[in-house]
Structure 1
Amino acid sequence: MAKSSNNVFFFLLLLLHILVLALCCCFSSAAGASSQYSTDFIRASCAATRYPSLCVRSLACYAAAVRRSPRELARFALAVSADRARSAAARVAGLPAVPPRSRSGPVRDCLENMADSVDRLRDAAAELARTGRSGSPAFAWHMSNVRTWCSAALTDETTCLDGVAQATGGKAKLDPAARAAVRREVLAVAQVTSNALALLNRVAPQQ
């Protein structure tokens, strides 16, 4: 009798173990499918940007948090742009290719443009957080402000690129290597900002 009870106990324990493993596998598969679903959403959204491959690379790690929401995707895109603008400004300020005599004039102006760009991207992100309920009367107005701030940030970055490209003479002259180094840093920021603006343009009132 005791032996029979033990057999039943071990059988139930084995059945419970199998059930737990099955549930774990189901949850794991569901999580994986959900993550892939969100990644596919990011890839499809990025197809509408000017630099789709860069868009996917910079935002794929946020797939789980995006939850297939165009507004959330745009929010992360703004955060990526602001972070990269801040990092690029720090790298430009310390580039060994830029001689000390050239850290005024176009380079100084460029750094000021980049600082303005960071501020405007932060303003855009803050305004996006204030859009409130989708479909509300103020939604379109807030979204217009968000796009304006993001567009202004892109203008700052483009102004920086233009100023550095024209620094070919005078005391603030930059040699080709220095111009290329600054351009590489700022262009990378301008590209992610351009992508962020394109993603913002995909946010509809009901989203």
Structure 2
Amino acid sequence: MARLVLCLLALSFAIYMAGTAACASNSTEDFIKTSCKATRYPDLCVQSLSAYANAIQRNEHHLTLTALSVSLERARSAAGFVSKLTKVRGIKPRELMAVKDCIENMGDTVDRLSQSVRELGHLGRAAGEDFLWHMSNVQTWVSAALTDENTCLDGFAGRRMDGNVKVAIRHRITNVAQVTSNALALVNRFASRHGSTSSDQMP
């Protein structure tokens, strides 16, 4: 009898813990979805951040840092992809020139997003003017990264650039630009919501 009671108690506790974990997970998912409403591409925002729900929890600092990290990861991947296009057989001279310009742009993007991730990661308990200064740096660098990505795409504008290279570039870089746009929106949201908070309110 005692063993049966213990088994029932253990089962009840396991069910309780599973329910608590499910509630926490749903709560984080709702937090991500609500936060992503501030972005230009909310569905992509939710899709790219949901996999990191355990790290994000319901913390805006973690959410923003994760969004920047995802953008950086995709920018690095896209930069590597673009570099390989210089070796595509039959690439036209004007395409090659545009690809080389894009390589430079994406290199700048990776550098600026890396700076942003480091700056936001080291934010710690900064508050007031100190917080705003750090966030201003992040906003400037992410905005510049987005400009670099769009500049890459501009290099392939017009019908003269139509072809497989253009299609491949637009597919990869457009995705990076959209993710970066979302990250910038979350950075701006975080800056506006926490710019005047005291240090004990920072994560």
- Is TM more than 0.5 here? yes
TM (norm. structure 2) is 0.87
Q: How does 1:87-126 map to 2 (within 5 A)?
A: 87-95=77-85, 96=88, 99=91, 101=93, 104-126=96-118
Task: Output the amino acid matched with 2:78.
Answer: A
Cα distance, 1:97 vs. partner?
7.9
Cα distance, 1:84 vs. partner?
0.5
Equivalent in 38, 42, 59 of residue 52 of structure 1: 42
Does residue 177 (structure 1) correspond to residue 137 (structure 2)? The answer is no
- What are the ranges of 5 or more consecutive residues in structure 2 without an aligned counterpart? none
Tell whether the 8 Å contact from 1:38 to 1:63 is kept in structure 2 after alignment: yes
**Which aligned runs of 4 or more in structure 1 are off by greater than 6 angstroms?**
none
Equivalent in 167, 181, 187 of residue 200 of structure 1: 187
Structure index of larger Rg: 1
- What are the ranges of 5 or more consecutive residues in structure 1 without an aligned counterpart? 1-10, 169-173
CA distance in 1, matches of 2:82, 2:54: 33
Q: How does 1:67-146 map to 2 (within 5 A)?
A: 67-95=57-85, 96=88, 99=91, 101=93, 104-133=96-125, 135-146=127-138
1:32-64 CA distance string (max 9 Å, x none): 100110001100111110000000000011112
The residue matched to 1:50 in structure 2 has which SS?
coil
Cα distance, 1:14 vs. partner?
1.1
1:155-182 CA distance string (max 9 Å, x none): 11011111122583xxxxx443321221
CA distance in 2, matches of 1:197, 1:121: 11
CA distance in 2, matches of 1:89, 1:166: 22
Specify whether residues 115 and 92 from structure 1 end up closer, same or farther in structure 2 by C-alpha distance, changes over 3 A only: same
Tell whether the 8 Å contact from 2:110 to 2:145 is kept in structure 1 after alignment: yes
CA distance in 2, matches of 1:110, 1:137: 36
TM (norm. structure 1) is 0.86
Tell whether the 8 Å contact from 1:110 to 1:164 is kept in structure 2 after alignment: no
Tell whether the 8 Å contact from 2:28 to 2:57 is kept in structure 1 after alignment: yes
Task: Output the amino acid matched with 2:5.
Answer: L
Question: Where does residue 157 of structure 1 map in the other structure?
Answer: 149
CA distance in 2, matches of 1:144, 1:98: 44
Task: Output the amino acid matched with 2:180.
Answer: T
CA distance in 2, matches of 1:54, 1:165: 24
Equivalent in 139, 142, 155 of residue 147 of structure 1: 139
Q: What is the number of residues matched between the two proteins?
A: 192
The residue matched to 2:124 in structure 1 has which SS?
coil
Tell whether the 8 Å contact from 1:154 to 1:194 is kept in structure 2 after alignment: yes
Question: Where does residue 23 of structure 2 map in the other structure?
Answer: 33
Task: Output the amino acid matched with 1:20.
Answer: A
CA distance in 1, matches of 2:66, 2:152: 24
Cα distance, 1:113 vs. partner?
0.5
Tell whether the 8 Å contact from 1:84 to 1:189 is kept in structure 2 after alignment: yes
The structure richer in helix per residue is: 2
